[in-house]
Structures are given as C-alpha cells and as structure tokens.
Amino acid sequence: MSVLQPRSYVAAISPYVPGKPLSELERELGIRDSIKLASNENPLGPSPKALAALKEYLSGTGDLHRYPDGGGYYLKQALCEKFGSRGVKVAPDELILGNGSNELLDIAVRTYLGPGDEAVMARPSFVVYAMSVQSVGAADVEIPLTADHRHDLTKMADAVTPKTKMVFVANPNNPTGTINRKDEFGSFMEKLPGGVLVVLDEAYYEYVEDPDYPDTLRYFTEGREVLILRTFSKAYGLAGLRVGYGIAKSGIIAGMNRIRAPFNTGTPAQVAALAALDDREHLQRSLAVNGEGKQYLCREFDTMGVRYVPTEANFIYLPLEVEAKRANDALLRKGVIIRPVGPKEIRVTIGLPEENRRFINAFKQFLAER
C-alpha cells in the first residue's frame, strides 16, 4: 500500500526548531525565575496603548464571533497617514497586512516563485527565507556574509541569473544585527535587472541608529520592484498577536492578494496594532532601553575581552571560541535562555537592565568554569 509523503522538496527542508516555552524548560531543568533572551522580543512588553485598546475591545459586546475586516481598512488608513506625515505617499492598495511579516514573505514566495526559479539570500540570515523558497520547489542561492558579517551585496548581485525571481535582504540582518548602508545598497539596486523582486526585510528598522541606513521607501516611490516588510512584533511589542505589513507598488500587492487567506489578520491584532502605531512614548522607551542595554553589554564584552559584532538591532551576535551548544547548555542551567545560531555562534537578545546583568554574570561564570 502506498503511504502519503510530502513533496520531495518539502521533505528535504530542515524543520524550524522553536525555543521551548519558559515553563516547560524550567520544569525540565528544575530551575526557577529563568529569563528569555532568545527571540528578539521587546523586554518592556506590549505598548500600553495597545493593551488598553484590546481591553476596551474585549470588554464591550465585542465582535469576536464575526470575521475580521479582511482588508484591514483602519490599520491601512493609519499607516498611510503615518507615511504621508513623513512626506511619503502610500495608498491602501500598496499595503498588505500579514500574520506577522513572516506570513508576508511566504505569500511573496508563493506568488512569485516556483520550481526551477531561484532566490538569492545571505548566509547566515533569517532561516525562514530558505525554508519558504524550498517549500515551493525553487532553489535558494545562499551567499556567505562578508568578513564583517554583513550581506555581501556585490556577490549577491553577481549571483542573479535569468532564473532569479527574488532577492532577500534582511537589514538589519538576523542573526548578526549588522546593516548594509545607503551607498552600497544604492549600487546594488542599480545592478539588478527587471523582473526580480527585492524583499527588504526591515523587521528591526526602528532600532537602527546609524545615519547611513538606507531609506528604502525611496525605491518604492521610484516604482522599483521592492517589497518592504515591517512588523509590530519587535519595537511595538506585539509578537504574540502576529501582525506585520508590506509596502510595494499596487501590482505586486495585487499579485500577493490573489493567494492571501481572506482573513489572515485577526480583529484583536488589528485593534492593538492600530493603537500601538500611535504610542510614540512606548516606542521611544523601547528604543532607549535597547540603546542603554546595548551600551552596557558591549562595555562588559570589551572588559571581558569577548568578541561581539556591533549591532543595529535588539540582539547581539557573539562568535565564540567554544561550541555554541556548550555555552547554551551552561547558560540554560543558570536560567538564561539565549539562542545558539551556528556551531560556535550565539545570539542574545538585549533585555531589561536586570536581565542583561544576569546574562553577563552567567556568561562570566561559564567562561570561568571552562
């Protein structure tokens, strides 16, 4: 009897391994009060304005029995106003909402890639790109980062062939926290032929402090084939609700809307995101906490003589001299959850001051015990 099997190219995908929930880990290791610095979440929690809007929504008669507004009318209007106030004209049909920006990159892949096509991306970068591309039978062409851990945009442009339909640029990159700056990004865009969608993943753009960070909306305004992805999961603190958005010219968005599930973002997610967008105070506080945490951690690493990659995001990449697994296991036993992201590389999310101190103390102990 034949047994149902996934398609060969789906069976070949290495599955994403999510971190365990805190409670599960604490039970397994017999520890308490552990801290999670593993998923680049906002340590301050959600925007208070978003929480208030959600509470109000849920305390009324509510309409949870109704399907959400599949077009996300109010959230799109608010986004258009926000961009308009900064002098960038974005129309609602140039926006798409997603169940996190993760869903949007998946929709883009399913819309524009198929068997025989190629997508160029960096390695290491956000692991979901390769999985998504492989899931439709297309080939992921992975270009190693430069020696200073940034996307090698020259080699990435050189890797574009007539089969290439998509290029992913995570800026800042996950897991390294590095960015590609204006000039090199401009030259890269000039080299790309038509018919290639550049997916600009800007999940961490709010955190960037470097004045030479590229303003990618410019390429959208010029009518280039770009899809800019942003999210409410990071600086806005709404990772659990799953809401992100994409900006592209209307033809690109219309293509994606053909296969988007009609109700892909729920009402609570839309309500909270709308309120969060208005919460400048929470955003500013989040960026300040991150900036201070970054300074503290880098100072400590410098003092300890630990190598780290300067970051423009809310996490830090550490190329270690020992196996990442050993560091991870030792930190876990001390109740500190980080993310091993390579054989000798770990990534730690910048947390609250107390969390950062606990991480540093645990890390010092690990280094001393070796």
Residues that bind ligand PLP (CB under 6 A): 40, 100-102, 126, 170, 174, 201, 203, 231, 233, 239, 244
Count Cβ neighbours within 10 Å for each residue of 89-107 and write b for 16 or more, e otherwise. ebebebbbbbbbbbbbbbb
Nearer to ligand PLP, 180 or 231 (CB): 231
DSSP 188-254: HHHHPPTT-EEEEE-TTGGG---TT---THHHHHTT-SEEEEEESSSTT--TTT--EEEE--HHHHH
State how far the Cα of 109 lies from the Cα of 197, in Å rounded to an integer: 10
- Rounded to a whole number of angstroms, the minimum distance from the CB of residue 304 to ligand PLP is 27
- Rounded to a whole number of angstroms, the minimum distance from the CB of residue 236 to ligand PLP is 10
- Rounded to a whole number of angstroms, the minimum distance from the CB of residue 96 to ligand PLP is 13
Nearer to ligand PLP, 132 or 164 (CB): 132
Nearer to ligand PLP, 202 or 300 (CB): 202
- Rounded to a whole number of angstroms, the minimum distance from the CB of residue 126 to ligand PLP is 4
- Rounded to a whole number of angstroms, the minimum distance from the CB of residue 101 to ligand PLP is 4
Residue 22 has φ and ψ, to the nearest 5°, of -50, -45
| Chain residue whose CB lies nearest ligand PLP | 100
State how far the Cα of 323 lies from the Cα of 232, in Å rounded to an integer: 33
Nearer to ligand PLP, 164 or 349 (CB): 349
Nearer to ligand PLP, 126 or 359 (CB): 126
> How far does CA 358 lie from the centroid of its chain?
25
- Residues 6+ away with beta carbon under 8 Å from 127: 16
Please state, in angstroms and as integers, the Cα–Cα distance from residue 174 to each residue in 100, 203, 249, following that order. Answer: 16, 9, 26
Residue 179 has φ and ψ, to the nearest 5°, of -125, 160
- Rounded to a whole number of angstroms, the minimum distance from the CB of residue 170 to ligand PLP is 4
Nearer to ligand PLP, 78 or 239 (CB): 239
- Residues 6+ away with beta carbon under 8 Å from 190: none
Q: What's the token pair of residue 164?
A: 């290439």
**152 sits in which H/E element:** none
State how far the Cα of 231 lies from the Cα of 95, in Å rounded to an integer: 13
- Rounded to a whole number of angstroms, the minimum distance from the CB of residue 237 to ligand PLP is 11
- Rounded to a whole number of angstroms, the minimum distance from the CB of residue 279 to ligand PLP is 18
Nearer to ligand PLP, 134 or 174 (CB): 174
Nearest to 42 by CA among 269, 209, 173, 238: 238
- Rounded to a whole number of angstroms, the minimum distance from the CB of residue 137 to ligand PLP is 22
Nearer to ligand PLP, 201 or 300 (CB): 201
Give the type of residue at 225. Answer: E
Count Cβ neighbours within 10 Å for each residue of 44-78 and write b for 16 or more, e otherwise. bebbbbbbebbeebeeeeeeeeeebeeebeebbeb
Nearer to ligand PLP, 316 or 360 (CB): 316
